[in-house]
Amino acid sequence: MSKVTVPAVRGRKVRTGSDPLVMVTAYDAPGARMADEAGVDLILVGDSLAMVVLGYDDTLQVTVADMAHHVGAVARVRPRPLVVGDMPWLSYHVSTADTVRNAAALIQAGAQSVKLEGGAKRVPMIEAIVDAEIPVMGHLGLTPQSVNAMGGYKVQGRERSAAMALIDDAHALEEAGCFSIVLEGVPDEVARMVTDAVSVPTIGIGAGPHCDGQVLVFHDLLGIEDRITPKFVRRYASLKEQGVAAMAAYADDVRTGRFPSHEESYHLNGTQAEALGLYGSDASRTA
């Protein structure tokens, strides 16, 4: 099957008969291989990297270098899904020139597009990136890089004025050239209004079923991250639980001498054993 492209994603509106888009985050080569083999459409190397991989409390700590490092690991797998590199906080807020250079760093690391958070006020930066031939995915609603400004991770767009502002922002992103828009943490009715208002696909997370696609974080979907379960997460596996049980079994086998077994060890042949003076040793008999 051929590589998923930006124009192909741009055309995927459910209202015109397309199947919903499937996006998942991944941060390394094994994760990218899993996403590829699962047949998803897009891999987002999200700045959630900060929280689910690097152990930070929020997403504000990761740098362009961190993101490029992980984009590279995903891209080296050459996955069929479109690779989207997330632009970290402050990488697109200071100057247009820095913004384009930072977006380019993610493309040079192997992404085919970038994502950034925010609405109309980000339009000049989005236009500059698009002008450099780099496709941009927008991100509206609960934008985690604004956690301090929002006063926490709170559902956005509940009030009429906020819902209308979201629709205006979505129009602004579409006009600036975004090929798709992530909608995070908004009521499903509002996500539906935004989705109806734009011609590019919306990809929801905590935004209900009416978007043109869905995205989940790798560690949430697979149950690797089990400390918090937001309402919108559906766990399809319990890999943390399985992993802990497997490691505990390994520890028990080592401590009781059951691991490694004879079959799991390398052995000398008879001549080699004899040369070491190991006549009649277990090794010389069973190489």
Q: Which is nearer to ligand KIV, 40 or 44 (CB)?
A: 44
- In angstroms, what is the minimal distance from the CB of 199 to ligand KIV? 21
Helix (H) or strand (E) holding 43: strand 42-45
* Active-site annotation holder among 127, 133, 175, 184: 184
What are the residues binding ligand KIV (CB under 6 A)? 25, 44, 46-48, 86, 182, 184, 205, 215, 217
d(CA 106, CA 186) in angstroms, rounded, equals 28
Q: How far is CA 97 from CA 33, 131, 136, 200, 213, in A?
A: 34, 12, 16, 27, 32
CB of residue 238 to ligand KIV, shortest distance in Å? 20
How far CA 207 is from CA of 46, 62, 250, in Å, comes to 18, 25, 41
Whether 184 sits among the annotated catalytic residues: the reply is yes
User: Measured from the CB atom, is 205 or 211 closer to ligand KIV?
Assistant: 205
Give the long-range contacts of residues 254-263, CB within 8 A, separation 24 or more: 262/286
Q: Which of residues 100 and 207 has its CB atom nearest to ligand KIV in the complex?
A: 207
Residue 194 Cα distances to 16, 22, 28, angstroms? 16, 19, 32
- If the CB atoms of residues 4 and 49 are measured against ligand KIV, the closer one turns out to be 49
Residue 165 beta carbon to ligand KIV: minimum distance, rounded to whole angstroms: 20
Half-sphere exposure of 192 (CA within 13 A, CB side): 6
The CB-of-244 to ligand KIV minimum distance in angstroms stands at: 24
Name which of 72 and 273 has its Cβ closer to ligand KIV. Answer: 72
Shortest approach of ligand KIV to residue 172 CB, angstroms? 19
> Do 22 and 191 touch, CB atoms closer than 8 A?
no
Of the pair 86, 169, the CB lying nearest ligand KIV is at 86
Helix (H), strand (E), coil (C) string for 181-211: EEEECCCHHHHHHHHHHCCCCEEEECCCCCC
Min dist. Cβ of residue 176 to ligand KIV (A): 19
Enumerate the active-site residues.
Answer: 184
